[in-house]
Amino acid sequence: MKIRNAFVNITSPGRNFVTLKIETDEGIYGLGDGTLNGRELAVASYLSDHLIPCLIGRDPFQTEDIWQYLYRGAYWRRGPVTMASIAAVDVALWDIKGKALNTPVYNLLGGRSRQGVMVYAHANGKDITHAIEDVERHRQLGYRAIRVQSGFSGNKSTYGVPKATGRYEPAERGLPSEYDWATEPYLRHVPKLFERVRDHFGEDLHLLHDCHHRLTPIEAAGLGKELEPYHLFWIEDPVPAEFEEGYRIIREHTTTPIATGEVFNSIWDAHDLIRNQWIDYIRMTIVHGGGITHLKKVADFAALYHVRTGFHGATDLSPVTMAAALHFNTAINNFGIQEHMPHSEETDAVFSHNYTFKDGYMFPGDAPGLGVDLDENLAAQYPYQRAYLPINRKLDGTLADW
């Protein structure tokens, strides 16, 4: 079998997605996600202008060799644009392989290691009372693990809470919005939030929280310590993670588990975090981490250090990535949890899929390959729209991490 052609689809059914379709001379095709929130067109160009010409005529079964060719062959390694592009190719090839062998991708990665993939939902509210109502709503939908974020006095807005009613979607159309940020009221608020939530729901629910890169190591260490009585499943991204050593300080002060890595794109972003056991969960997922081929190595390396996966699963990761993650999570031993932020109806109509949700678990389905398809006619009705993630400034105007 040979790769005959490949092209990039950009569509915006509610939000932007970049999808690579690779076609073979035997009529089988595969899909890969290359969406990079706010920088979509850079990946589209990397794929169309630089990778696709190198793929034509290759054997799509050679996932390892093609991955090495694209990674080492570029000379310029790593970075989110490069690695999302390589991921799009890699995932499309695994999809082709599964279809050609008439088996779901999880069978190519080790077969079933579990019955279902535990997922966590997002609950939020403009204050603690509304957040508790939203936790209850998600509990009734069957979720056993829930991330909780709420607004608080002292900051007009915060990460994870919508400005108005409706679903939370961080990317906004047009140029980047600017929000203000003050750490002190946040640090006073979060322990009160989890005290109330635990008090209301008891111990029989996994609770998670995303700090979204906004703290310093010593602030995060203090927060982790204050949250210990509420037994969180994790706090996520307590500090900006490019400085891995910062996690040592957090680790030395608290037993609250730590998750990070949604912005990572290579094992070399997480190597020290894992081998020093400074984190408990690695969140780098398939689209931003170079695809299934690289993530399998990352997960196997992490397993040696008791680090489990907790893949990013926000709406800016397309249904193709969700499907790939569910196959992956079904197969590996050191799976921890998977984030689940359901896509809009428009997105699900463009990307029909076999994966399902029931009682807090998701299932990849047994269709050959990934079990996702792209309706290109429908996709064409939603042209690309420029959109960005927001910017944060401290109250005196200093630019801060969002």
Residue from 261, 184, 199 nearest 231 by CA: 199
Q: Which of residues 246-285 bind Mg ion (CB under 5 A)?
A: 262
With CB under 5 A as the contact rule, the residue among 210, 219, 269, 316 that binds Mg ion is 210
Closer residue to ligand KDG in complex, CB, 71/186: 186
Number of residues that bind ligand KDG (CB under 6 A): 10
Site for Mg ion contains 316 (CB under 5 A): no
378 binds, among ligand KDG, Mg ion, none (CB under 5 to 8 A by kind): none
Residues 6 or more apart whose CB falls under 8 angstroms from that of 75 comprise none
Place of tokens 């290691």: 113
Interface characters, 145-174, with ligand KDG (x: CB under 6 A): -------------------------x----
Long-range CB pairs of 260-264 (<8 Å, 24+ gap) are 260/236, 261/312, 262/236, 262/237, 262/288, 262/312, 262/314, 263/80, 263/213, 263/288, 264/288, 264/289
Distances, alpha carbon 77 to alpha carbons 3, 90, 125, in Å: 24, 16, 41
Amino acid identity, position 338? Q
288 binds, among Mg ion, ligand KDG, none (CB under 5 to 8 A by kind): none
Residues involved in catalysis: 159, 212
With CB under 6 A as the contact rule, the residue among 90, 262, 269, 280 that binds ligand KDG is 262
Closer residue to ligand KDG in complex, CB, 20/36: 36
Closer residue to Mg ion in complex, CB, 219/236: 236
With CB under 6 A as the contact rule, the residue among 37, 85, 158, 293 that binds ligand KDG is 37
CA distance 290 to 287: 6
Per the CB < 8 A criterion, the answer to whether 241 and 264 are in contact is yes
Q: What is the contact surface with Mg ion in residues (CB under 5 A)?
A: 210, 262
Q: What is the contact surface with ligand KDG in residues (CB under 6 A)?
A: 37, 170, 210, 212, 262, 312, 314, 316, 339, 389
